[in-house]
A and B are shown apart, each in its own frame.
Chain A
Amino acid sequence: MAIIRDGMQPFDLYQPTSVEDALTLADRLGADAWMLAGGLDSLERFKDRLKRPKAVIDLGRVEELRGVRREGEDLVIGSMTTLTEVNRDPEIRARFGLLAEAAGEVASPQIRNQGTLGGNISQDTRCWYYRGGWQCYRAGGGTCYAGESTQGQNREHALFGVEGCAAVSPSDTAPALIALEARLVIKSAKGAREVAVEDYFVGPDTDITRMNVLGTGEVLTEIRLPATWAGVTFYFEKVRDRPVWDFPLVNIAAAMQLSGDRIDRARFVLGAVAARPWRLPQVEAAVAGRARNAAVDAAARLAADGAVPLPQNGYKVALVRNLVKRAILGKTTS
């Protein structure tokens, strides 16, 4: 069979208007169904003919999945809330500016208008071998072309947790949500479960073929932000080669509770350095209780602990250290 990567295969399209209907459909269609959020990641895979679902459940008409509301101290964001809406929402900006900023750095304005928060954290990896249809581990094949081949192109690949697959998590909002200790509500016809966002993501050590825990028949419905980190000092930065569209070479989301210059507690999460967003607990421990200036050197040193650079991505080690340093001290200007 010859290969062509141009044009979607036919599928049945469902457009439920309630979560209940969506779950009924998801249950009925099982593994045949593909859950469609904003569609930017999905449609590309369909057009490349690498994913050929029999049925697509478009969540775009489920109004209850959109919008931001307060529930007690929690801020609840519907999974189908667009990135533009997340970026502009006054409440998110006021209390969780880290997330607003991260959402505003995604891709391009049109993509933010259409792409959703749920979709952004659930998107597949952008490893150019995997996306190109190469039969790698992640695609069910027997090698990692980026990491295991002597001449693999791995400039944009993983530093940490490369267990077979060197692909990275491309999301800008996922590190922010982890820094904010968000929780995710996942529903299916059988019921609902809530997971810490950190546990949503899956590395190749757990399952090399998936990026998150979302199972067949399940729908991510809500992202819940607890008050834990509301209004603390935040830092988000995305390093990329091109100011629009680019996925991060590395990004960082940090939340720090400060007393004067002293760091009471902090969360540091990196993106694009591992198959899942990469939290830095050792750095968090090292800085807790110390003044920013006193903490920074140890933090930068610890940040890249355990990094195993590939031949072409050693620069990410420097990036990780520098970004942690900046997250602690803020960006200094000359």
Chain B
Amino acid sequence: MPENDPLFTPKLTGRDYTTPDLRAKLTGTARFADDFRAEGMLVCKLLTSPLPHARVTRLDTGAALAMPGVRAILTADELPPPADSVSDSGAVIKASPWAERALTMEPHYQGEPVLAVAATDEAAAAAAIEAIDIAFEALPFVIAPLDSLRPDGANARIDGNVWLPPEKPGEQPRVGKLKWTAADFETAGPNRLPLGKAAAEWSYGDVTAALSEAALVLDETFVTPNVSHQTLETRSALAWWENGKLHIAVGTQSTIQTVPAIAKWLNMNADDIVLVSEYTGGGFGGKITASVPVIIPALLAKKAHAPVMLRVSREDEQGIGRARPSLIGRMQAGFSREGRLLGLDLSVVMDNGPYEQQLDAAISGRMGSLLYQPLAMRWRGTAVLTNTPTRGAQTAPGGLQVSALIGPLLAKAARRLNLDPLAVCRINAPEGRAPVGPPKADGTLNAATSAFLKQALDRGAEAFGWQARRARPALTEGPVRRGIGVATGCFVAGTTGFDGLFVITPEGRVRIHSGIGNLGTESFSDVQRVVADAMDLPWKNCEIVWGNTAKHLAWSCVSGGSQTIHAMSRAALAASLDARAKLREIAARTLGGKPEEYTVGGQRIFRSDAGQVGMSFAEAARRAIELGGVYDGHECPADVNKMTKTSVAALAGQGLLAVARDTFPHDGQTYSYVATFAEVEVDIETGMYRIVALHAEADAGTVVHPRAFAGQLGGRSMLGIGHASRQKWFYDHEHGTPVSRRFYQTRPTTVLCLPERFTWGSVGIPDPQTPIGARGIGEPPTGAACAAVLCALSDALGDDKFLRAPVMADAILAAVEPETWRPAATLSANV
């Protein structure tokens, strides 16, 4: 690292503490969107489509509007036209004609909102929905992506069935038509993904040669699950207008970044929006900047001249609450005798849902290249539109899928080559500045900032007792079979270039204005430990302001993709260095001498050579106000975001203002990694199985807050366990409708799904490309845990037993007694 002046000594960073939001969560005083009340508040409910694809042919809201208590009805024609947006670099991103809208007269999935009613109470709103006279014309629909690729397959949208790359460079991707030939399907057979023309592809090295030279070539097809996010808090929102400004209370993962998103959907100025989001009841990628239905109460509130609460039912959340896309993957992989992956030919078809192109398919290629380091690789991917709910990023989007696809493949290769699966994981694990596909324009690969996954595998194997468990004889008597598995996961774990902002008040306290969302990861607070360390302050002297954009917050990264701990610890340090520089200058100007002769410590700024010459933070803050200019925020650095500038202007004069953009050097792409070990015991008479032990070993750089880190590692591992073992939805293909609508049918994990012994560890080697050394941990545990469980199941029951995840009791019984029953052979993403 460059000499960032004396950076900071981690005293608090790396230690447990109580986050400032926890007490309210435990006393019931934490206010989530649905907990707000406003005088004259109306309640809004949605009329959703009963059909998977349809056009509204008749709509009469007259009777509903005439009902007592009904105040307003909002239909799709009242939505503002989608606005273009402008990226941070100033590039205009044109509004997509295929983007999801809040309401539609041509619903593309069962459960999509058509209109919304605002009434004085919930009962009146529900009764009004039932009084609406509406008729639909059914349109062709498709539920399984492969059905749509068949020569005569239906298209999910009138104008196409797949996302195609831009026609010309610089343009945006578009929806178009793509069909595979009957021969493509015939060649593949029933349980292999056909290899028709893909919508997109890239490669490096000579994959064909690598496969032909390999000691072992595997050709596997696997289907990863469609899993909805199911945040415990549905995406309810309260909106009201005051003096021309929209106020909106909604659970979102990202506080400040949600403002421009809502502004875009509403086609209005971001300055006229106040967002309140102190607490968010889970996001998992599904609420990165809320989601488009959030504008429904805003528009209704304007129309009805009253605050409007959109109270989203669990059933509606199933529709609009986002879901992870399933990937149907085919892997042709060539291994050396030592288990090294020489060539990987990965083809994926993604169940995209009907709207915006999801990135999971493309990310699966990138993460596959990083996580398994194939010497040669080709990736081919097609995002197929289906008439199923809108997809969204979910914990390690594309990363989970590629671990589920390839983790078990490595384990199978190990068995076939008579190698230890751990050794095969290790030999293929990324190390140091590992290369990452896809290739750049010049044909070279990008590089990771760092990777210590081999160390994580070594430490994890030790903690789990891998070799001892492996050495035990297999259970062959009785109904229980035992299996162990090891697998890895990785994902993006940090970005750069955001802003830090805090005020040293005339009382000598530090008030940090955090624009980071509070979604439960605690990074909104954890990154501020860096401020306390860098300023040599006790934590009790730091106050964090968050969750309300009226409180003048700093521009932050979106809290998605686990970038926050990396991006915002850098921003916190940048602001701290700014504060220290300003303190020195103020001291020098006030007490004489040169700024560099002063030191910050013990809540004072003092002469390094004469400690008694100095001033307290409180005195410095008062002096900053006298000096004005940059010191108290009347002048603002040019390179910070315009939303930060607005906040700085509002805070000017309140004390010493520390504000800076993260410009610390950063070379490479930042990723985190997890190695996970699992043991299962399968009851082959009932198909039920237990995860006896699971160990997750992280490589995510410096750990900033161990308990929060452990929570992420544990919680996200549980999500992977859910993907492997039970959480899914069920679809009726004939009618295009999900039949699973309740938790008891979609089966998210419960406390009793916990591994009987769950342990974790962290390699803890600081990432060399960021001053704090911290990378995100929220994503990679999911793929690693999912794949480790799948590997353990195959270890227990044998290879080639499972075509898809999750593996539930019926699949286990089919694996044990294939002669009595096999599940319907299908590669459908939704079954």
- Chain A residues in the interface with B (C-beta under 8 A): 1-7, 10, 49, 126, 128-129, 132, 145, 149-153, 155, 237, 239-247, 249, 309, 311-315, 317-319, 322-323, 325-326, 331-334
A322-B733 in contact given A2-B132, A2-B134 (Cβ < 8 Å)? no
A258 to chain B, nearest CB (A): 22
Candidate in B126, B129, B132, B739 with the most chain A CB atoms within 10 angstroms = B739
Task: Determine the distance from Cα of A249 to Cα of B744 in the docked complex, in whole angstroms.
Answer: 12
Are B745 and A128 in contact, with the CB atoms below 8 A? Answer: yes
Are A152 and B734 in contact, with the CB atoms below 8 A? Answer: yes
Are B814 and A315 in contact, with the CB atoms below 8 A? Answer: yes
Question: CB-nearest residue of chain B relative to A8?
Answer: B123
Q: Within residues 304 to 358 of chain B, which ones have a CB less than 8 A from any CB in chain A?
A: 313, 315-316
Contact residues in B for A323 (Cβ distance below 8 Å): 685-686
Are B824 and A311 in contact, with the CB atoms below 8 A? Answer: yes
Task: Determine the distance from Cα of A77 to Cα of B708 in the docked complex, in whole angstroms.
Answer: 49
Asked if B198 CB lies within 8 Å of chain A CBs, one says no
Chain B window 23-56, contacts with chain A (Cβ cutoff 8 Å), 1 for yes, 0 for no:
0000000000000000000000111001000000
A247-B744 in contact given A5-B315, A7-B122, A237-B686 (Cβ < 8 Å)? yes
Contact residues in A for B122 (Cβ distance below 8 Å): 6-7
Contact residues in A for B685 (Cβ distance below 8 Å): 322-323, 325-326
Question: CB-nearest residue of chain A relative to B749?
Answer: A242
Are A6 and B752 in contact, with the CB atoms below 8 A? Answer: no
Contact residues in A for B810 (Cβ distance below 8 Å): 155, 249, 312-313, 315
Q: Within residues 366 to 395 of chain B, which ones have a CB less than 8 A from any CB in chain A?
A: none
Are A245 and B734 in contact, with the CB atoms below 8 A? Answer: no
- Can you report 24 A-B residue pairs in the complex whose CB atoms are below 8 A from each other? A1-B131, A4-B129, A5-B315, A6-B315, A7-B126, A128-B730, A128-B739, A149-B734, A151-B734, A152-B732, A153-B739, A242-B753, A244-B750, A245-B743, A247-B744, A312-B823, A315-B814, A318-B817, A318-B821, A319-B686, A325-B685, A333-B478, A334-B477, A334-B479
Task: Determine the distance from Cα of A152 to Cα of B737 in the docked complex, in whole angstroms.
Answer: 11
- Chain B residues in the interface with A (C-beta under 8 A): 45-47, 50, 122-123, 126, 129-134, 313, 315-316, 475, 477-480, 685-688, 726, 730-735, 737, 739-741, 743-745, 747, 749-753, 808-810, 813-814, 816-817, 820-824
Contact residues in B for A242 (Cβ distance below 8 Å): 726, 744, 747, 749-750, 753
Closest CB pairs A-B (n = 5): A314-B821, A334-B478, A243-B752, A322-B685, A315-B810
Contact residues in A for B132 (Cβ distance below 8 Å): 1-2
Question: CB-nearest residue of chain A relative to B477?
Answer: A334
Are B821 and A309 in contact, with the CB atoms below 8 A? Answer: yes
Are B745 and A241 in contact, with the CB atoms below 8 A? Answer: no
Contact residues in B for A126 (Cβ distance below 8 Å): 744
Are B744 and A318 in contact, with the CB atoms below 8 A? Answer: no
Q: Contact partner of A319 among B126, B732, B813, CB < 8 A?
A: B813
Task: Determine the distance from Cα of A245 to Cα of B733 in the docked complex, in whole angstroms.
Answer: 26
Question: CB-nearest residue of chain A relative to B476?
Answer: A334
Task: Determine the distance from Cα of A242 to Cα of B8 in the docked complex, in whole angstroms.
Answer: 48
Contact residues in B for A319 (Cβ distance below 8 Å): 686-687, 809, 813
Contact residues in B for A5 (Cβ distance below 8 Å): 313, 315
Could you tell me the dominant secondary structure of chain A's interface residues?
loop
B826 to chain A, nearest CB (A): 10
Contact residues in A for B134 (Cβ distance below 8 Å): 2
Contact residues in B for A153 (Cβ distance below 8 Å): 730-732, 739
Are A6 and B45 in contact, with the CB atoms below 8 A? Answer: yes
Are A4 and B45 in contact, with the CB atoms below 8 A? Answer: yes
Candidate in A2, A5, A317 with the most chain B CB atoms within 10 angstroms = A2
Question: CB-nearest residue of chain B relative to A3?
Answer: B50
Contact residues in B for A311 (Cβ distance below 8 Å): 824
Q: Contact partner of A334 among B47, B130, B475, B743, CB < 8 A?
A: B475
Question: CB-nearest residue of chain A relative to B134?
Answer: A2
Contact residues in A for B731 (Cβ distance below 8 Å): 153
Q: Contact partner of A6 among B126, B478, B820, B824, CB < 8 A?
A: B126
Contact residues in A for B821 (Cβ distance below 8 Å): 309, 314-315, 317-318
Q: Contact partner of A132 among B47, B734, B741, CB < 8 A?
A: B741
Given contacts A3-B130, A149-B732, A242-B749, 19 further A-B contacts (CB under 8 A): A3-B129, A4-B46, A4-B47, A151-B732, A153-B731, A241-B808, A242-B747, A242-B753, A243-B752, A246-B747, A247-B744, A309-B821, A311-B824, A312-B824, A315-B809, A315-B810, A318-B821, A325-B685, A332-B479
Task: Determine the distance from Cα of A151 to Cα of B740 in the docked complex, in whole angstroms.
Answer: 15
Contact residues in A for B740 (Cβ distance below 8 Å): 128
Are B123 and A241 in contact, with the CB atoms below 8 A? Answer: no
Are A314 and B820 in contact, with the CB atoms below 8 A? Answer: yes
Contact residues in B for A243 (Cβ distance below 8 Å): 750, 752-753
Task: Determine the distance from Cα of A129 to Cα of B734 in the docked complex, in whole angstroms.
Answer: 13
Task: Determine the distance from Cα of A150 to Cα of B732 in the docked complex, in whole angstroms.
Answer: 10
Are A145 and B732 in contact, with the CB atoms below 8 A? Answer: yes
Task: Determine the distance from Cα of A293 to Cα of B678 in the docked complex, in whole angstroms.
Answer: 36
Task: Determine the distance from Cα of A151 to Cα of B734 in the docked complex, in whole angstroms.
Answer: 6
Contact residues in B for A1 (Cβ distance below 8 Å): 130-133
B102 to chain A, nearest CB (A): 17
Are A132 and B739 in contact, with the CB atoms below 8 A? Answer: yes
A129 to chain B, nearest CB (A): 6
Contact residues in B for A145 (Cβ distance below 8 Å): 732, 735
Task: Determine the distance from Cα of A10 to Cα of B123 in the docked complex, in whole angstroms.
Answer: 9
Contact residues in B for A333 (Cβ distance below 8 Å): 478, 480
Are A317 and B820 in contact, with the CB atoms below 8 A? Answer: yes
A239-B686 in contact given A1-B130, A6-B315, A132-B739 (Cβ < 8 Å)? yes
Task: Determine the distance from Cα of A256 to Cα of B554 in the docked complex, in whole angstroms.
Answer: 71
Contact residues in A for B744 (Cβ distance below 8 Å): 126, 242, 245-247
Contact residues in A for B816 (Cβ distance below 8 Å): 318
Contact residues in A for B46 (Cβ distance below 8 Å): 4
Task: Determine the distance from Cα of A173 to Cα of B679 in the docked complex, in whole angstroms.
Answer: 33
Task: Determine the distance from Cα of A311 to Cα of B50 in the docked complex, in whole angstroms.
Answer: 26
Task: Determine the distance from Cα of A245 to Cα of B735 in the docked complex, in whole angstroms.
Answer: 28
Question: CB-nearest residue of chain A relative to B311?
Answer: A6
Are B313 and A155 in contact, with the CB atoms below 8 A? Answer: no
Q: Contact partner of A150 among B315, B478, B734, B737, CB < 8 A?
A: B734
Are A6 and B313 in contact, with the CB atoms below 8 A? Answer: yes
Are A7 and B123 in contact, with the CB atoms below 8 A? Answer: yes
Task: Determine the distance from Cα of A317 to Cα of B744 in the docked complex, in whole angstroms.
Answer: 23
Q: Contact partner of B726 among A128, A241, A247, A331, CB < 8 A?
A: A241
A211 to chain B, nearest CB (A): 18
Q: Contact partner of B47 among A2, A7, A49, A239, CB < 8 A?
A: A2
Task: Determine the distance from Cα of A47 to Cα of B335 in the docked complex, in whole angstroms.
Answer: 57
Candidate in A145, A318, A333 with the most chain B CB atoms within 10 angstroms = A318
Task: Determine the distance from Cα of A3 to Cα of B820 in the docked complex, in whole angstroms.
Answer: 42
Question: CB-nearest residue of chain B relative to A314?
Answer: B821
Question: CB-nearest residue of chain A relative to B747?
Answer: A242
Are B747 and A241 in contact, with the CB atoms below 8 A? Answer: yes
Contact residues in B for A239 (Cβ distance below 8 Å): 686-688, 809
B533 to chain A, nearest CB (A): 43
Are A315 and B687 in contact, with the CB atoms below 8 A? Answer: yes
A59 to chain B, nearest CB (A): 25
Candidate in A10, A132, A145, A331 with the most chain B CB atoms within 10 angstroms = A132
B815 to chain A, nearest CB (A): 10
Task: Determine the distance from Cα of A7 to Cα of B312 in the docked complex, in whole angstroms.
Answer: 12
B117 to chain A, nearest CB (A): 9
Task: Determine the distance from Cα of A111 to Cα of B144 in the docked complex, in whole angstroms.
Answer: 37
Contact residues in A for B813 (Cβ distance below 8 Å): 315, 318-319
Question: CB-nearest residue of chain A relative to B685?
Answer: A322
Candidate in B687, B744, B752, B814 with the most chain A CB atoms within 10 angstroms = B744
A322-B126 in contact given A6-B313, A243-B752 (Cβ < 8 Å)? no
Task: Determine the distance from Cα of A3 to Cα of B316 in the docked complex, in whole angstroms.
Answer: 12
Are B753 and A6 in contact, with the CB atoms below 8 A? Answer: no
